Structure 1
């Protein structure tokens, strides 16, 4: 029986108990995950591995509320470590494996981690981070061989079988991306709940997208599991009886192959992946059967309207967009809705609130642009060791990510940009995302960033930095071609005054652009509010 047929054999079990350990007890032979090498891991095996690691962590002396840091690539070992923490009352920090040793050391120190679970692929970074942070040698474990780390097989070995002695729900401790300074951990109070149960918030979140327990879904994970949404989608899928197909490194054609092979129904994607899929030759795209897709969910970064339309034409109305935050709350819009409200990121989730406020915290009328504030009923958080940032992001119970937008008469949210990215030229507010969305669909543009640079008279002027498409050179002729293209789509005051070229732009694997890295050199020696 294949992984997908195993999943669909559960379609008549919608009323059954959900949760990793419950499914493992009742149906240990069902497939929970497919490793990047194609190995199928059953619920029974995954639960047993998570139990072993949990017993090992407790034998090291970790108590409820302690933290561990995991520096591993996508795979079942990472998933098992996550579920070990989640049943042990621990906070688990998934470290971005693009970070340097000192940056990982910051996570270890800031979270006060008592154990560090690494992988030999990142051995140099792991050793440097553990040494700088002073991690106890007894708390260092690695998949494979890493100097000074014990092999992961030793974690929990000799501690008996079955579940750990102390079981209470733990939580991810998610660090907001460090695009505007040091990342801050979002640390939610532990609930004290039974880890066998699946939180209502998890089932409710998937219900927003029409995904229910044991309804034959198969999830495809193509982005790194250190990202908040990616981790949530994999964990919740497994908890609801949906096998998760894990990719080590995302490749557009490989994704199509896996969709066909495993009859994938849903995934979490970012617009840069759409762009690369659409760049495949048409004969390659049409070679694969994607008729199994039910809801392909995207977020994390703005999606140009033309890219979204082309994906809807290819995959149909299964392309669903959402806007959300690690801190809680969000909006969602289906493909059909988006065609009626192009450019919108949707209406608030059930039990979620979205408001548009001015700089004084007053609510603005529909249609007026201001700061986007959100709230999720019953959700509270604080930035770890940073009460000032916590309070600065809030107005009452509402919080903001710094995005700017407006609500229309039907309650749909339209984002304009991040407030910190807004360009003020001659007293006029200009939103770079609008310019980026137009230039991004030019066939000679692979990626683009727009931001303000100093100007003596106007304060700021518009600069575009472009990554040319493969085989295209960044010449003066290309600059004139792009500007002429933009003149037909944008008002004159929104046109870039100059275009620079780079071989690639600094994005994380989830599509988020590190715009400060591009912008800061132009402002060296000058003051700019960020």
Structure 2
């Protein structure tokens, strides 16, 4: 065999400044500002800024942070709603080489303090709305960060707790300062913490390459066109807004910021701003579908919503399509930069009745363009399961949009990457057409009399009941069967249903062993990203 050193394609053809650059989403804003300087970049109430203005603010902020000693290896933690400053920080912080840590706005002070210490925050940027919890968190933390307030005129209340405001910090920066892209695209760009329901949160580290690739992957997966108008209904703190701060900027689109998620405001902005795209968990879609009739409206121009974070019931997909909003189903985890699987639409689905089409769209789908490999396999042997739509296995992933690892937690990183695949912890089946369908988290699947029951399948059926607004299913201990399904439901305003009626509804539509044996009427506890906290429901079972 010929020596590889004699390969003509490896001689004198090295990487150099002319033919290689580290991938980074920072290039997106520089291009948007250069090519489309006068296009609207941000809308927030009466505030509008162009791409050149937004880019200049990012440069100034990066310059100000550098002057205060912030650079590579440092962490800038932020506690902000979906406002323009949150968008700017997704560019300004990595322009310094530092790492952006977006904080969940619904966390308690103790958890935030842990994250500030674990991430060694040099700077904390917060909003008056969260001044109470942030003041306590900073006081409890061991670190002593520079504390900066965003003084948003569109919010009344709270206090200024920092040593200066965001605008004062911005004024310290130099518009002519120069920023450099990372020399190594493997350099960390953001830090995102998992929910930590079974212990301290784990710090998921993203790199510039993954952020760039997943942002462009979103553009293809959601069919994001040039100059899309994107409404911020998804929290920007969640997986960095599924990388959409970078995706929308890459197409020189318009970011429509929304401080508080109110259904009537969503419909109003869709119409007033010509919104073309937005994202949200199924709970957000359900909220829109069940908004007061006077605030709902049929959308009169093309709008696409990407939903994920939890499996959307087919009934919700049907409902959104009926009011004129196209649904794209995405799947992913914090560890995969958010969306890494899309339910890619097939033309033949358009010929199906809406109910059958929605069932196809409710599947998680196939790998996104940035994901190299996707597999459903045996959790022990990691052998692929048959593509029969029946055999359950764990979802495994490989690719550039899988995290670097968990910050300061090599044992957890090693476990997550065991066998050369990322272990999602989600259980799914693999269909003949290659689409995966998540059936449950491994910890949520119900084993009743030796039979596996998908809580997602039962929940999907419950959502079809006309009186049910929300539903979640967990395992209830049973002396005979080991475990049986227990449903927690919330009814729609003005609707009524009894436990017996709901159980009979499921028994009329699915195998009896899968049906709930008990129904509890109660509000569903959720995370800030709309996921039902099933551990809290299991705890409630102990008192029932």
TM-score by length of 2: 0.84
Matches within 5 A, 1:467-482: 467-472=490-495, 478-482=498-502
1:233–1:268: 8 Å Cα contact kept in structure 2? no
Please point out which of 366, 371, 386 is paired with 2:394.
371
Residue of structure 2 in register with 1:76 after alignment: 84
Matched, 1:455 2:478: yes
| Counterpart residue number, 1:527 | none
Cα deviation, 1:126-148, whole Å, max 9, x if unaligned, reads: 111111113425x1111134235
Superposed structure 1 runs of 4+ greater than 6 Å apart: none
Task: Quote the Cα distance in structure 2 between the aligned partners of 1:417 and 1:313.
Answer: 28
| Contact 2:96–2:179 (Cα < 8 Å) also in 1 | no
Match of 1:116 in 2: 124
Partners of 1:330 and 1:352 within 8 A in 2: no
Whole-Å Cα distance in 1 between the matches of residues 174 and 114 of structure 2? 34
Instruction: Provide the secondary structure at the position in 2 that maps to 1:372.
Output: strand
The equivalent position to 1:292 in structure 2, one of 297, 302, 306, is 302
Question: For residues 200 and 496 of structure 1, what CA distance do their matches in structure 2 show?
Answer: 43
* Structure 1 residue 124: Cα displacement: 0.9
CA contact (8 A) 2:376 2:436 kept: no
- Counterpart Cα distance in 1 of 2:493 and 2:346: 30
| Displacement after TM superposition at 1:104 (Å) | 1.0
1:427/1:154 Cα in 2 relative to 1: closer, same or farther (>3 Å)? same
Task: Say whether 1:445 aligns with 2:468.
Answer: yes
**Residues 352-395 of structure 1, C-alpha deviation per residue, up to 9 Å, x if partnerless?**
31112113222222122111111125755211122222222234
In the alignment, which residue of structure 2 is the partner of 1:345?
364
Instruction: Assess, with a 3 A threshold, how the Cα gap between structure 1 residues 359 and 23 changes in structure 2: closer, same or farther.
Output: closer
Shift of 1:19: 2.1
Residues 54-96 of structure 1: per-residue CA shift (max 9 Å, x gap): 1222122222121111001111111122221121111111111
Structure 2 match to 1:184 = 202
The answer to whether the Cα contact below 8 Å between 2:59 and 2:179 also exists between their aligned partners in 1 is no
Give the match for residue 276 of structure 2.
Answer: 265
Structure 2 runs not aligned, ≥5 long: 1-25, 152-158, 350-355
So what's the TM-score if we normalise by structure 1?
0.86
What is the aligned length? 492
The residue that corresponds to 2:223 in the other structure is 210
1:30 paired residue number: 39
CA contact (8 A) 1:223 1:509 kept: no
SS of 1:199 mapped into structure 2: helix
Q: 2 CA distance for matches of 1:231 and 1:365?
A: 31
Match status 1:154 vs 2:163: no
Give how far 1:166 is off.
Answer: 5.6
Mapping of residues 429-444 of structure 1, within 5 Å: 429-444=452-467
Aligned pairs for 1:349-360 (under 5 A) are 349-350=368-369, 351-360=371-380
Deviates more, 1:242-251 or 1:228-237: 228-237
Shift of 1:31: 1.1
Instruction: Report if the CA contact (8 A) 1:436-1:448 is conserved.
Output: yes
Report the CA distance between 1:26 and its aligned residue: 4.5
Cα distance, 1:290 vs. partner? 3.2
1:203-282 equivalent positions in 2, closer than 5 A: 203-212=216-225, 215-228=226-239, 230=241, 232-280=243-291
CA–CA separation in structure 2 for the residues paired with 1:175 and 1:321: 23
Name the stretch that deviates more: 447-456 or 203-212: 203-212
1:21 and 2:44 are equivalent in the alignment: no
Cα distance in 2 between the residues matched to 1:440 and 1:400: 29
Name the SS of the counterpart of 2:343 in structure 1: strand
- Confirm or deny: 8 A CA contact 1:119 1:143 kept in the other structure: yes
Aligned mates of 2:32, 2:361 — CA distance in 1 = 41
Distance verdict in 2 for CA 1:158–1:320, change over 3 Å = closer
Superposed CA offset, 1:337-362 (max 9, x none) = 48283542222223431112113222
* 1:516 counterpart (535, 538, 542): 535
Aligned partners of 1:33 and 1:41 also within 8 Å: yes
Residue of 430, 436, 443 corresponding to 1:420: 443
- Contact 2:343/2:435 (8 A) holds in 1: no
Contact 1:73 1:248 in 2 (8 A): yes
- C-alpha separation between the residues in 2 aligned to 1:84 and 1:216? 22
* Backbone CA RMSD of aligned residues: 2.6
Deviations for 1:217-266, whole angstroms, at most 9, x for unmatched residues?
21111122111162511332023200111111222232122111111111
CA contact (8 A) 1:426 1:458 kept: yes
Q: Output the CA distance in 2 between the equivalents of 1:117 and 1:299.
A: 28
The residue aligned with 1:6 is none
CA contact (8 A) 2:221 2:342 kept: no
Q: Distance in 1 between matches of 2:161 and 2:227?
A: 43
Distance 1:126 1:241, change over 3 A: same
Alignment of 1:358-397 (within 5 A): 358-360=378-380, 361-367=382-388, 368-377=391-400, 379=402, 381-397=404-420
Task: Tell me by how many angstroms 1:438 deviates.
Answer: 1.0
Q: Secondary structure, in 3 states, of the residue corresponding to 2:498?
A: helix
